[in-house]
Chain A
Protein backbone atom coordinates (compact mmCIF):
# COMPACT_ATOMS: atom_id res chain seq x y z
CA UNK A 1 0.00 0.00 0.00
CA UNK A 2 1.53 3.30 -1.06
CA UNK A 3 0.15 6.77 -0.35
CA UNK A 4 1.28 9.68 -2.47
CA UNK A 5 1.76 13.17 -1.11
CA UNK A 6 -1.41 15.26 -1.35
CA UNK A 7 -3.73 12.27 -1.79
CA UNK A 8 -6.98 11.56 -0.01
CA UNK A 9 -7.29 7.84 0.55
CA UNK A 10 -10.21 5.97 2.13
CA UNK A 11 -9.98 2.61 3.83
CA UNK A 12 -13.22 0.67 3.60
CA UNK A 13 -14.12 -2.56 5.31
CA UNK A 14 -16.67 -4.13 7.58
CA UNK A 15 -16.33 -3.94 11.36
CA UNK A 16 -13.16 -5.68 12.48
CA UNK A 17 -11.63 -5.66 8.99
CA UNK A 18 -8.47 -3.98 10.27
CA UNK A 19 -9.02 -0.33 9.28
CA UNK A 20 -8.43 1.17 12.71
CA UNK A 21 -5.59 -1.25 13.36
CA UNK A 22 -3.84 -0.07 10.21
CA UNK A 23 -4.38 3.57 11.13
CA UNK A 24 -3.05 2.98 14.63
CA UNK A 25 0.02 1.19 13.33
CA UNK A 26 0.69 3.93 10.79
CA UNK A 27 0.35 6.64 13.41
CA UNK A 28 2.79 4.87 15.80
CA UNK A 29 0.07 3.94 18.30
CA UNK A 30 0.26 0.21 17.76
CA UNK A 31 3.13 -2.17 17.12
CA UNK A 32 2.54 -4.47 14.16
CA UNK A 33 3.21 -8.19 14.40
CA UNK A 34 4.90 -8.25 10.99
CA UNK A 35 5.54 -6.19 7.87
CA UNK A 36 7.19 -2.84 7.25
CA UNK A 37 5.79 0.65 7.15
CA UNK A 38 7.41 3.96 6.31
CA UNK A 39 6.07 7.48 6.65
CA UNK A 40 7.94 9.98 4.48
CA UNK A 41 10.85 7.54 4.37
CA UNK A 42 10.99 7.06 8.14
CA UNK A 43 10.56 3.62 9.61
CA UNK A 44 7.45 3.68 11.82
CA UNK A 45 8.53 0.66 13.84
CA UNK A 46 12.14 1.64 14.45
CA UNK A 47 11.80 5.43 14.78
CA UNK A 48 8.31 6.38 15.95
CA UNK A 49 9.69 9.61 17.45
CA UNK A 50 10.68 10.74 13.95
CA UNK A 51 7.23 9.97 12.57
CA UNK A 52 5.13 11.56 15.31
CA UNK A 53 5.82 15.21 14.38
CA UNK A 54 4.63 14.42 10.86
CA UNK A 55 1.27 12.93 11.75
CA UNK A 56 -1.95 13.82 13.54
CA UNK A 57 -4.84 11.52 14.39
CA UNK A 58 -8.57 11.86 14.94
CA UNK A 59 -9.16 8.74 17.06
CA UNK A 60 -12.29 6.70 16.59
CA UNK A 61 -14.90 7.81 19.12
CA UNK A 62 -12.49 10.40 20.50
CA UNK A 63 -13.95 13.22 22.57
CA UNK A 64 -12.52 16.62 23.48
CA UNK A 65 -11.75 17.64 27.04
CA UNK A 66 -15.24 18.32 28.39
CA UNK A 67 -14.09 21.16 30.59
CA UNK A 68 -12.28 23.09 27.92
CA UNK A 69 -13.91 25.18 25.23
CA UNK A 70 -13.22 24.25 21.60
CA UNK A 71 -10.94 27.29 21.37
CA UNK A 72 -8.97 26.23 24.45
CA UNK A 73 -8.78 22.59 23.36
CA UNK A 74 -7.36 23.36 19.92
CA UNK A 75 -4.96 25.98 21.26
CA UNK A 76 -3.71 23.69 24.04
CA UNK A 77 -3.10 20.87 21.60
CA UNK A 78 -1.21 23.06 19.15
CA UNK A 79 0.95 24.41 21.96
CA UNK A 80 1.63 20.85 23.16
CA UNK A 81 2.87 20.09 19.65
CA UNK A 82 5.36 22.91 20.01
CA UNK A 83 3.59 25.48 17.82
CA UNK A 84 4.23 29.07 18.89
CA UNK A 85 1.51 31.21 20.47
CA UNK A 86 0.81 33.54 17.54
CA UNK A 87 0.65 30.77 14.96
CA UNK A 88 -1.49 28.69 17.29
CA UNK A 89 -3.97 31.53 17.80
CA UNK A 90 -4.25 32.13 14.07
CA UNK A 91 -4.75 28.45 13.36
CA UNK A 92 -7.37 28.10 16.08
CA UNK A 93 -9.44 30.87 14.47
CA UNK A 94 -9.01 29.37 11.01
CA UNK A 95 -9.87 25.87 12.12
CA UNK A 96 -12.94 26.95 14.11
CA UNK A 97 -14.19 28.82 11.08
CA UNK A 98 -13.59 25.90 8.74
CA UNK A 99 -15.52 23.56 11.00
CA UNK A 100 -18.31 26.07 11.58
CA UNK A 101 -17.62 26.21 15.29
CA UNK A 102 -17.27 29.99 15.76
CA UNK A 103 -20.68 30.19 17.46
CA UNK A 104 -19.73 27.65 20.12
CA UNK A 105 -16.00 28.37 20.28
CA UNK A 106 -16.20 29.66 23.84
CA UNK A 107 -18.70 27.19 25.24
CA UNK A 108 -17.49 24.24 27.28
CA UNK A 109 -17.33 21.13 25.13
CA UNK A 110 -19.53 19.24 27.58
CA UNK A 111 -22.43 21.42 26.50
CA UNK A 112 -22.00 20.65 22.80
CA UNK A 113 -23.93 18.07 20.80
CA UNK A 114 -22.27 14.81 19.75
CA UNK A 115 -21.72 16.09 16.22
CA UNK A 116 -20.23 19.35 17.49
CA UNK A 117 -17.85 17.46 19.77
CA UNK A 118 -16.73 15.41 16.79
CA UNK A 119 -16.18 18.63 14.84
CA UNK A 120 -13.99 19.88 17.68
CA UNK A 121 -11.87 16.74 17.35
CA UNK A 122 -11.51 17.22 13.60
CA UNK A 123 -10.80 20.95 14.05
CA UNK A 124 -8.09 20.10 16.61
CA UNK A 125 -6.32 17.80 14.19
CA UNK A 126 -6.64 19.84 11.00
CA UNK A 127 -5.26 22.87 12.83
CA UNK A 128 -1.95 21.02 13.16
CA UNK A 129 -1.49 21.09 9.37
CA UNK A 130 0.55 17.93 9.82
CA UNK A 131 1.79 16.50 6.53
CA UNK A 132 -0.09 13.22 7.14
CA UNK A 133 -3.51 13.14 8.77
CA UNK A 134 -5.24 9.99 9.94
CA UNK A 135 -8.96 10.35 10.41
CA UNK A 136 -10.78 7.38 11.88
CA UNK A 137 -14.46 7.78 11.05
CA UNK A 138 -14.15 11.56 11.26
CA UNK A 139 -17.70 12.53 10.37
CA UNK A 140 -19.55 10.07 12.57
CA UNK A 141 -22.56 11.75 14.16
CA UNK A 142 -22.28 14.87 12.03
CA UNK A 143 -25.19 16.40 10.12
CA UNK A 144 -24.93 16.63 6.30
CA UNK A 145 -23.82 20.27 6.43
CA UNK A 146 -21.03 19.55 8.88
CA UNK A 147 -19.92 16.52 6.86
CA UNK A 148 -19.62 18.65 3.78
CA UNK A 149 -17.66 21.26 5.70
CA UNK A 150 -15.22 18.50 6.72
CA UNK A 151 -14.98 17.29 3.12
CA UNK A 152 -14.29 20.81 1.89
CA UNK A 153 -11.60 21.30 4.51
CA UNK A 154 -9.97 17.99 3.63
CA UNK A 155 -9.88 18.94 -0.03
CA UNK A 156 -8.29 22.26 0.85
CA UNK A 157 -5.69 20.57 3.06
CA UNK A 158 -4.67 18.10 0.38
CA UNK A 159 -4.51 20.94 -2.16
CA UNK A 160 -2.00 22.52 0.21
CA UNK A 161 0.08 19.33 0.27
CA UNK A 162 -1.22 17.34 3.25
CA UNK A 163 -2.00 13.66 2.76
CA UNK A 164 -5.14 12.21 4.31
CA UNK A 165 -5.96 8.62 5.14
CA UNK A 166 -9.47 8.13 6.46
CA UNK A 167 -11.73 5.30 7.39
CA UNK A 168 -15.47 5.58 7.02
CA UNK A 169 -18.59 3.51 6.85
CA UNK A 170 -20.29 6.25 4.81
CA UNK A 171 -19.65 5.06 1.29
CA UNK A 172 -21.00 8.26 -0.25
CA UNK A 173 -18.36 10.08 1.75
CA UNK A 174 -15.62 7.76 0.58
CA UNK A 175 -16.73 8.25 -3.02
CA UNK A 176 -17.12 12.03 -2.79
CA UNK A 177 -13.88 12.60 -0.98
CA UNK A 178 -11.27 10.03 -1.85
CA UNK A 179 -9.10 9.90 -4.89
CA UNK A 180 -8.35 6.26 -4.19
CA UNK A 181 -9.99 3.60 -2.06
CA UNK A 182 -8.77 0.44 -0.45
CA UNK A 183 -11.30 -2.23 0.46
CA UNK A 184 -9.86 -4.46 3.16
CA UNK A 185 -11.04 -7.51 5.03
CA UNK A 186 -9.29 -9.63 7.62
CA UNK A 187 -6.27 -7.33 7.40
CA UNK A 188 -5.84 -7.97 3.65
CA UNK A 189 -6.39 -5.54 0.78
CA UNK A 190 -9.18 -6.94 -1.39
CA UNK A 191 -9.21 -4.22 -4.04
CA UNK A 192 -7.64 -0.84 -4.60
CA UNK A 193 -8.50 1.90 -7.06
CA UNK A 194 -10.77 4.82 -7.77
CA UNK A 195 -14.44 4.56 -6.85
CA UNK A 196 -15.32 4.14 -10.53
CA UNK A 197 -12.77 1.41 -11.03
CA UNK A 198 -14.05 -0.44 -7.98
CA UNK A 199 -17.63 -0.14 -9.16
CA UNK A 200 -16.59 -1.74 -12.46
CA UNK A 201 -15.78 -4.89 -10.53
CA UNK A 202 -19.41 -5.78 -9.88
CA UNK A 203 -20.02 -6.82 -13.48
CA UNK A 204 -21.73 -3.73 -14.84
CA UNK A 205 -22.27 -0.03 -14.40
CA UNK A 206 -26.05 0.07 -14.10
CA UNK A 207 -28.50 -1.44 -11.69
CA UNK A 208 -32.01 -2.34 -12.81
CA UNK A 209 -34.62 -2.96 -10.16
CA UNK A 210 -37.80 -4.77 -11.16
CA UNK A 211 -40.60 -4.51 -8.63
CA UNK A 212 -42.47 -7.80 -8.04
CA UNK A 213 -40.09 -9.39 -10.55
CA UNK A 214 -39.69 -12.78 -8.86
CA UNK A 215 -41.48 -14.50 -11.76
CA UNK A 216 -38.96 -13.02 -14.21
CA UNK A 217 -35.86 -14.14 -12.37
CA UNK A 218 -34.96 -16.85 -14.82
CA UNK A 219 -35.36 -14.60 -17.86
CA UNK A 220 -33.48 -11.71 -16.27
CA UNK A 221 -30.59 -13.87 -15.15
CA UNK A 222 -29.52 -14.03 -18.78
CA UNK A 223 -28.51 -10.33 -18.50
CA UNK A 224 -26.41 -10.58 -15.35
CA UNK A 225 -26.28 -11.58 -11.72
CA UNK A 226 -29.56 -11.26 -9.87
CA UNK A 227 -30.17 -10.36 -6.25
CA UNK A 228 -33.62 -10.61 -4.67
CA UNK A 229 -34.66 -8.15 -2.01
CA UNK A 230 -38.19 -8.80 -0.81
CA UNK A 231 -40.27 -8.96 -3.96
CA UNK A 232 -37.89 -6.76 -5.93
CA UNK A 233 -35.29 -8.23 -8.23
CA UNK A 234 -32.06 -6.28 -8.75
CA UNK A 235 -29.83 -6.84 -11.72
CA UNK A 236 -26.36 -5.41 -12.38
CA UNK A 237 -25.86 -4.95 -16.08
CA UNK A 238 -24.33 -2.91 -18.89
CA UNK A 239 -25.96 0.04 -20.76
CA UNK A 240 -26.29 -1.89 -24.04
CA UNK A 241 -28.61 -4.41 -22.39
CA UNK A 242 -30.95 -1.92 -20.79
CA UNK A 243 -33.49 -1.71 -23.62
CA UNK A 244 -33.93 -5.46 -23.72
CA UNK A 245 -34.35 -5.75 -19.95
CA UNK A 246 -36.87 -2.91 -19.87
CA UNK A 247 -38.82 -4.51 -22.69
CA UNK A 248 -38.88 -7.84 -20.83
CA UNK A 249 -40.22 -6.15 -17.73
CA UNK A 250 -42.83 -4.17 -19.68
CA UNK A 251 -44.06 -7.25 -21.50
CA UNK A 252 -44.74 -8.78 -18.08
CA UNK A 253 -46.53 -5.59 -16.99
CA UNK A 254 -43.89 -4.79 -14.34
CA UNK A 255 -42.17 -1.54 -13.43
CA UNK A 256 -38.41 -1.31 -13.72
CA UNK A 257 -36.12 1.49 -12.58
CA UNK A 258 -32.55 2.07 -13.71
CA UNK A 259 -29.75 3.74 -11.78
CA UNK A 260 -25.98 3.72 -11.61
CA UNK A 261 -24.25 1.04 -9.57
CA UNK A 262 -23.33 2.51 -6.20
CA UNK A 263 -20.13 2.03 -4.28
CA UNK A 264 -22.16 0.31 -1.58
CA UNK A 265 -23.21 -2.40 -4.05
CA UNK A 266 -19.64 -2.85 -5.16
CA UNK A 267 -18.49 -2.98 -1.55
CA UNK A 268 -21.10 -5.57 -0.59
CA UNK A 269 -20.18 -7.69 -3.55
CA UNK A 270 -16.42 -7.51 -3.03
CA UNK A 271 -16.53 -8.10 0.71
CA UNK A 272 -19.26 -10.72 0.31
CA UNK A 273 -17.03 -12.59 -2.11
CA UNK A 274 -14.23 -12.50 0.48
CA UNK A 275 -16.56 -13.80 3.19
CA UNK A 276 -17.70 -16.65 0.90
CA UNK A 277 -14.10 -17.58 0.12
CA UNK A 278 -13.30 -17.56 3.82
CA UNK A 279 -16.29 -19.78 4.58
CA UNK A 280 -15.60 -22.06 1.61
Chain B
Protein backbone atom coordinates (compact mmCIF):
# COMPACT_ATOMS: atom_id res chain seq x y z
CA UNK B 1 0.00 0.00 0.00
CA UNK B 2 1.29 3.48 -0.88
CA UNK B 3 1.82 6.01 1.83
CA UNK B 4 1.70 9.82 2.00
CA UNK B 5 4.76 11.36 0.47
CA UNK B 6 5.32 8.59 -2.07
CA UNK B 7 4.90 8.75 -5.85
CA UNK B 8 1.12 9.16 -5.71
CA UNK B 9 1.50 12.52 -4.01
CA UNK B 10 4.26 13.52 -6.39
CA UNK B 11 2.13 12.55 -9.37
CA UNK B 12 -0.82 14.57 -8.08
CA UNK B 13 1.37 17.60 -7.38
CA UNK B 14 2.74 17.60 -10.91
CA UNK B 15 -0.33 16.21 -12.67
CA UNK B 16 -1.96 19.53 -11.92
CA UNK B 17 0.73 21.28 -13.93
CA UNK B 18 -0.35 19.79 -17.26
CA UNK B 19 -3.96 20.56 -16.57
CA UNK B 20 -3.15 24.13 -15.59
CA UNK B 21 -0.96 24.45 -18.66
CA UNK B 22 -3.91 23.41 -20.84
CA UNK B 23 -6.16 25.87 -19.00
CA UNK B 24 -3.74 28.72 -19.57
CA UNK B 25 -3.28 27.86 -23.25
CA UNK B 26 -7.06 27.76 -23.69
CA UNK B 27 -7.48 31.11 -21.94
CA UNK B 28 -4.70 32.76 -23.97
CA UNK B 29 -5.83 31.41 -27.32
CA UNK B 30 -9.28 32.74 -26.69
CA UNK B 31 -7.69 36.18 -26.89
CA UNK B 32 -6.47 35.35 -30.39
CA UNK B 33 -5.99 39.01 -31.24
CA UNK B 34 -3.49 39.34 -28.39
CA UNK B 35 -1.61 36.34 -29.79
CA UNK B 36 -1.57 37.91 -33.26
CA UNK B 37 -0.60 41.37 -32.00
CA UNK B 38 2.20 39.71 -30.06
CA UNK B 39 3.97 39.75 -33.44
CA UNK B 40 3.38 43.43 -34.16
CA UNK B 41 6.66 44.87 -32.84
CA UNK B 42 8.68 42.11 -34.49
CA UNK B 43 6.80 42.55 -37.78
CA UNK B 44 7.27 46.33 -37.73
CA UNK B 45 11.00 46.02 -37.08
CA UNK B 46 11.31 43.35 -39.76
CA UNK B 47 9.67 45.69 -42.28
CA UNK B 48 12.12 48.47 -41.37
CA UNK B 49 15.06 46.12 -41.79
CA UNK B 50 13.66 44.77 -45.05
CA UNK B 51 13.35 48.33 -46.40
CA UNK B 52 16.62 49.77 -45.12
CA UNK B 53 18.97 46.79 -44.96
CA UNK B 54 17.47 43.70 -46.62
CA UNK B 55 20.77 41.84 -46.19
CA UNK B 56 20.19 41.89 -42.44
CA UNK B 57 16.72 40.36 -42.59
CA UNK B 58 17.89 36.92 -41.43
CA UNK B 59 19.61 38.53 -38.43
CA UNK B 60 16.45 40.42 -37.61
CA UNK B 61 14.38 37.23 -37.92
CA UNK B 62 16.59 35.48 -35.37
CA UNK B 63 16.20 38.56 -33.17
CA UNK B 64 12.44 38.44 -33.63
CA UNK B 65 12.43 34.81 -32.43
CA UNK B 66 14.45 35.65 -29.34
CA UNK B 67 12.27 38.70 -28.66
CA UNK B 68 9.15 36.54 -29.00
CA UNK B 69 10.53 34.00 -26.50
CA UNK B 70 11.26 36.87 -24.12
CA UNK B 71 7.78 38.30 -24.65
CA UNK B 72 6.25 35.06 -23.32
CA UNK B 73 7.73 35.95 -19.94
CA UNK B 74 6.10 39.35 -20.05
CA UNK B 75 2.76 37.62 -20.72
CA UNK B 76 3.47 35.48 -17.67
CA UNK B 77 4.07 38.65 -15.65
CA UNK B 78 0.75 40.12 -16.75
CA UNK B 79 -1.26 36.91 -16.49
CA UNK B 80 0.06 35.91 -13.06
CA UNK B 81 -0.64 39.39 -11.72
CA UNK B 82 -4.06 39.56 -13.39
CA UNK B 83 -5.40 36.30 -12.03
CA UNK B 84 -4.00 37.10 -8.58
CA UNK B 85 -5.02 40.75 -8.31
CA UNK B 86 -8.26 40.77 -10.28
CA UNK B 87 -9.58 37.22 -10.00
CA UNK B 88 -7.96 35.79 -6.87
CA UNK B 89 -7.79 32.48 -8.71
CA UNK B 90 -4.31 31.88 -7.34
CA UNK B 91 -5.96 31.23 -3.95
CA UNK B 92 -8.18 28.59 -5.53
CA UNK B 93 -5.12 26.81 -6.90
CA UNK B 94 -2.77 27.37 -3.97
CA UNK B 95 -5.26 25.87 -1.52
CA UNK B 96 -5.26 22.62 -3.48
CA UNK B 97 -3.04 19.57 -3.95
CA UNK B 98 -1.39 21.25 -6.92
CA UNK B 99 2.00 22.54 -5.85
CA UNK B 100 2.87 26.24 -6.20
CA UNK B 101 5.78 25.36 -8.46
CA UNK B 102 3.55 23.44 -10.84
CA UNK B 103 1.20 26.44 -10.90
CA UNK B 104 4.11 28.64 -11.99
CA UNK B 105 5.59 26.19 -14.49
CA UNK B 106 2.14 25.24 -15.82
CA UNK B 107 1.30 28.88 -16.44
CA UNK B 108 4.63 29.53 -18.17
CA UNK B 109 4.29 26.47 -20.40
CA UNK B 110 0.66 27.23 -21.20
CA UNK B 111 1.48 30.74 -22.36
CA UNK B 112 4.47 29.49 -24.34
CA UNK B 113 2.24 27.00 -26.11
CA UNK B 114 -0.32 29.68 -26.98
CA UNK B 115 2.33 32.00 -28.40
CA UNK B 116 4.16 29.26 -30.29
CA UNK B 117 2.30 29.63 -33.64
CA UNK B 118 3.58 33.18 -34.30
CA UNK B 119 7.10 31.99 -33.47
CA UNK B 120 6.71 29.14 -35.93
CA UNK B 121 5.80 31.64 -38.63
CA UNK B 122 9.01 33.55 -37.91
CA UNK B 123 10.94 30.29 -37.96
CA UNK B 124 9.45 29.34 -41.32
CA UNK B 125 10.49 32.71 -42.74
CA UNK B 126 13.99 32.24 -41.41
CA UNK B 127 14.18 28.76 -42.90
CA UNK B 128 13.11 30.24 -46.23
CA UNK B 129 15.74 33.00 -46.15
CA UNK B 130 18.55 31.19 -44.41
CA UNK B 131 18.11 27.42 -43.90
CA UNK B 132 19.61 26.38 -40.56
CA UNK B 133 22.04 23.53 -40.19
CA UNK B 134 21.49 20.95 -37.43
CA UNK B 135 23.81 22.72 -34.98
CA UNK B 136 22.12 26.06 -35.56
CA UNK B 137 18.66 24.49 -35.19
CA UNK B 138 19.69 22.86 -31.92
CA UNK B 139 21.28 26.09 -30.70
CA UNK B 140 18.13 27.97 -31.61
CA UNK B 141 15.92 25.51 -29.72
CA UNK B 142 18.08 25.45 -26.60
CA UNK B 143 18.77 29.17 -26.40
CA UNK B 144 15.14 30.13 -27.01
CA UNK B 145 14.11 27.73 -24.25
CA UNK B 146 16.67 29.38 -21.98
CA UNK B 147 15.33 32.85 -22.86
CA UNK B 148 11.79 31.63 -22.15
CA UNK B 149 12.85 30.11 -18.80
CA UNK B 150 14.67 33.28 -17.78
CA UNK B 151 11.93 35.64 -18.88
CA UNK B 152 9.02 33.57 -17.48
CA UNK B 153 10.74 33.22 -14.12
CA UNK B 154 11.55 36.90 -13.98
CA UNK B 155 7.99 37.76 -15.05
CA UNK B 156 6.46 35.52 -12.39
CA UNK B 157 8.71 36.91 -9.65
CA UNK B 158 7.99 40.51 -10.63
CA UNK B 159 4.25 39.78 -10.74
CA UNK B 160 4.22 38.78 -7.07
CA UNK B 161 5.47 42.19 -5.96
CA UNK B 162 2.57 44.35 -7.09
CA UNK B 163 -1.00 44.74 -5.87
CA UNK B 164 -2.33 46.82 -8.74
CA UNK B 165 -2.33 46.13 -12.46
CA UNK B 166 -1.69 49.78 -13.35
CA UNK B 167 1.62 49.63 -11.48
CA UNK B 168 2.67 46.54 -13.40
CA UNK B 169 2.24 47.80 -16.97
CA UNK B 170 5.17 50.26 -16.95
CA UNK B 171 7.50 47.60 -15.51
CA UNK B 172 6.48 45.13 -18.19
CA UNK B 173 7.14 47.74 -20.85
CA UNK B 174 10.49 48.67 -19.29
CA UNK B 175 11.69 45.06 -19.16
CA UNK B 176 10.62 44.39 -22.74
CA UNK B 177 12.57 47.38 -24.00
CA UNK B 178 15.60 46.74 -21.81
CA UNK B 179 15.92 43.13 -22.86
CA UNK B 180 14.33 43.07 -26.30
CA UNK B 181 15.02 46.35 -28.10
CA UNK B 182 18.14 48.04 -26.70
CA UNK B 183 20.66 45.18 -26.83
CA UNK B 184 21.77 43.68 -30.17
CA UNK B 185 18.71 41.50 -30.67
CA UNK B 186 17.31 42.84 -33.93
CA UNK B 187 20.71 43.92 -35.24
CA UNK B 188 24.01 41.99 -35.38
CA UNK B 189 26.42 42.07 -32.44
CA UNK B 190 29.17 43.45 -34.68
CA UNK B 191 27.32 46.78 -34.86
CA UNK B 192 27.47 47.03 -31.08
CA UNK B 193 30.24 49.05 -29.41
CA UNK B 194 33.17 46.62 -29.16
CA UNK B 195 33.87 47.44 -25.53
CA UNK B 196 30.25 46.69 -24.65
CA UNK B 197 30.07 43.32 -26.42
CA UNK B 198 30.69 41.31 -23.23
CA UNK B 199 27.73 43.09 -21.63
CA UNK B 200 25.56 42.21 -24.62
CA UNK B 201 26.62 38.60 -24.21
CA UNK B 202 25.45 38.67 -20.61
CA UNK B 203 21.94 39.68 -21.67
CA UNK B 204 19.95 36.49 -22.37
CA UNK B 205 18.16 37.77 -25.47
CA UNK B 206 21.23 39.15 -27.23
CA UNK B 207 23.45 36.23 -26.21
CA UNK B 208 20.90 33.76 -27.62
CA UNK B 209 20.84 35.69 -30.89
CA UNK B 210 24.66 35.84 -31.07
CA UNK B 211 24.96 32.10 -30.39
CA UNK B 212 22.38 31.17 -33.04
CA UNK B 213 24.04 33.46 -35.58
CA UNK B 214 27.42 31.94 -34.78
CA UNK B 215 26.06 28.39 -35.13
CA UNK B 216 24.39 29.34 -38.42
CA UNK B 217 27.65 30.75 -39.76
CA UNK B 218 26.19 34.25 -39.95
CA UNK B 219 28.47 35.92 -37.41
CA UNK B 220 31.89 35.47 -35.89
CA UNK B 221 32.37 34.97 -32.16
CA UNK B 222 35.61 34.20 -30.41
CA UNK B 223 35.74 31.01 -28.30
CA UNK B 224 35.75 33.23 -25.22
CA UNK B 225 32.66 35.02 -26.42
CA UNK B 226 30.91 31.72 -27.10
CA UNK B 227 31.84 30.56 -23.62
CA UNK B 228 30.65 33.81 -22.06
CA UNK B 229 27.37 33.86 -24.01
CA UNK B 230 26.48 30.20 -23.57
CA UNK B 231 27.66 30.08 -19.96
CA UNK B 232 25.83 33.18 -18.85
CA UNK B 233 22.66 32.18 -20.68
CA UNK B 234 22.64 28.72 -19.08
CA UNK B 235 23.41 30.07 -15.62
CA UNK B 236 20.84 32.88 -15.87
CA UNK B 237 18.13 30.50 -17.06
CA UNK B 238 18.90 27.99 -14.33
CA UNK B 239 19.24 30.52 -11.55
CA UNK B 240 16.05 32.31 -12.52
CA UNK B 241 13.98 29.14 -12.81
CA UNK B 242 15.19 27.98 -9.40
CA UNK B 243 14.45 31.43 -8.01
CA UNK B 244 11.04 31.40 -9.72
CA UNK B 245 10.20 28.08 -8.04
CA UNK B 246 11.38 29.47 -4.71
CA UNK B 247 9.25 32.59 -5.13
CA UNK B 248 6.26 30.51 -6.25
CA UNK B 249 6.53 28.40 -3.09
CA UNK B 250 7.09 31.37 -0.81
CA UNK B 251 4.28 33.49 -2.20
CA UNK B 252 1.75 30.65 -2.20
CA UNK B 253 1.52 31.53 1.47
CA UNK B 254 1.88 35.15 2.41
CA UNK B 255 3.97 35.88 5.44
Which A residues contact B (CB, under 8 angstroms)?
24, 27-31, 48-50, 52-53, 55-65, 67-68, 72, 76-77, 79-82, 108, 121, 124-125, 128, 134
Judging by beta carbons under 8 Å apart, are B253 and A30 in contact?
Answer: yes
Question: What CA separation (Å) do A99 and B252 show in the bound complex?
Answer: 29
Nearest-Cβ distance from residue B146 to partner chain A, whole angstroms: 27
Judging by beta carbons under 8 Å apart, are A31 and B253 in contact?
Answer: yes
* 7 A-B pairs whose Cβ atoms sit less than 8 Å apart in the complex: A49-B99, A59-B92, A60-B88, A62-B87, A82-B15, A108-B30, A124-B92
Question: What CA separation (Å) do A67 and B32 show in the bound complex?
Answer: 11
Nearest-Cβ distance from residue B45 to partner chain A, whole angstroms: 29
Nearest-Cβ distance from residue A130 to partner chain B, whole angstroms: 8
Question: What CA separation (Å) do A121 and B23 show in the bound complex?
Answer: 16
Judging by beta carbons under 8 Å apart, are B91 and A65 in contact?
Answer: no
Judging by beta carbons under 8 Å apart, are B88 and A28 in contact?
Answer: no
Given A24-B254, A64-B87, A81-B98, 11 further pairs, Cβ under 8 A: A29-B253, A48-B252, A57-B91, A59-B89, A65-B23, A65-B83, A65-B87, A76-B22, A77-B93, A80-B20, A80-B93
Judging by beta carbons under 8 Å apart, are B27 and A53 in contact?
Answer: no
Nearest-Cβ distance from residue B111 to partner chain A, whole angstroms: 13
Residue of B nearest to A54 (CB): B97
**Residue of B12, B16, B96 with highest tally of chain A CB at under 10 A:** B96
B142 within 8 A of A: no
Question: What CA separation (Å) do A30 and B250 show in the bound complex?
Answer: 10
Judging by beta carbons under 8 Å apart, are A62 and B91 in contact?
Answer: yes
Per a CB cutoff under 8 Å, which of B11, B97, B254 touches A52? B97
Judging by beta carbons under 8 Å apart, are B22 and A29 in contact?
Answer: no
Per a CB cutoff under 8 Å, which of B16, B83, B92 touches A57? B92
Residue of B nearest to A110 (CB): B30
Q: Collect the chain B residues with CB atoms within 8 Å of residue A125's CB.
A: 92
Given contacts A28-B253, A52-B97, A81-B98, contact A65 B19 (CB under 8 A): no
Per a CB cutoff under 8 Å, which of A29, A60, A76 touches B19? A76
Question: What CA separation (Å) do A52 and B93 show in the bound complex?
Answer: 10
Question: What CA separation (Å) do A23 and B95 show in the bound complex?
Answer: 11
Question: What CA separation (Å) do A143 and B97 show in the bound complex?
Answer: 32
Question: What CA separation (Å) do A64 and B12 show in the bound complex?
Answer: 23
**Residue of B19, B26, B27, B252 with highest tally of chain A CB at under 10 A:** B19
Given contacts A48-B253, A72-B26, contact A77 B88 (CB under 8 A): no
Q: Collect the chain B residues with CB atoms within 8 Å of residue A79's CB.
A: 16, 19
Nearest-Cβ distance from residue A89 to partner chain B, whole angstroms: 14
Per a CB cutoff under 8 Å, which of B22, B91, B97 touches A81? B97
Nearest-Cβ distance from residue A88 to partner chain B, whole angstroms: 10
Residue of B nearest to A57 (CB): B95
